[in-house]
Amino acid sequence: MTDFSLSWTALRTAVAELSDADFTQPSGCSGWLVRDLVCHLIIDAQDVLITLVTPSDAEPSRNDVTYWEIAETPPSGHDPLDALTVRLAAAYQAPALLKFHLDDVGSAAGRAAELVDPNLRVSTRGQVLTASDYLSAYVLEWTLHHLDLIAHLPAAGPPAVGLARSRAMLEQIAGAAFPKSLSDKDSLLIGTGRRVPTDAQKTALGELSTVLPLILG
């Protein structure tokens, strides 16, 4: 729960510190500008709020690692939902409106995460998780999107605790550990296909390179 709060607060702070010009820069998400990514974060925050008030009596079917599904192809930005996000982001017109909406909904999501019973079972995407596992899964979401946000900007990155926790989860998803020679940041960027490994990094990855990248969905 603490990792969620730290990662989410850091990401929202990074957005709040962006200049208007930064919103027109490309993000680390294919086909999306920074403004599109920020709009996606607003939708993510809404999903957190909805999920935390959608309790379930069923037994958990997923945890923070199995919550993630692996897609066969990376997103191109042309998926109908992705395209809708781009149009919605453009409708905001002024970056200040995007900042305001993210701060408003994002702060509420953060408070909800602090108040929820960690053992509460919640339902989302047709699956049931404990609130604790659901919020833990989102540490990976926030950390990756923080890296996406600053992909082409000279801004502060995600907190070390979020990077380390996200690496650990990605290693569990991959079923193998990344080499110690790779930093947490590089492990996440290469592991999720956001960066192509150098020849030296590919050698260090060994057999693990054959299952990468992991396209999380």
pLDDT at position 76: 65
pLDDT tens, residue by residue, 34-93 = 999 999 999 999 999 999 999 999 999 999 999 999 987 777 666 777 789 999 999 999
- What structural domains does the chain harbor? 2-174 (1.20.120.450)
**Sign of the torsion angle spanned by Cα atoms 67, 72, 75, 81:** negative
Phi-psi region of 43 (alpha: psi -120 to 50; beta: other; left: phi over 0): alpha
pLDDT tens, residue by residue, 98-148 = 999 999 999 999 999 999 999 999 999 999 999 999 999 999 999 999 999
What are the angstrom distances between the C-alpha of 214 and each of 42, 67, 74, 75, 189?
24, 14, 9, 12, 10
- In residues, how long is the chain? 217
> Hey, what amino acid is at 79?
D
12-31: average pLDDT: 96
- Is there a contact between 108 and 12 (Cβ–Cβ < 8 Å)? no
Rg of the chain, C-alpha, whole Å:
17
pLDDT at position 59: 98
pTM comes to 0.96
pLDDT tens, residue by residue, 121-130 = 999 999 999 9
Residues 6+ apart with CB under 8 A from 95: 18, 20, 23, 35
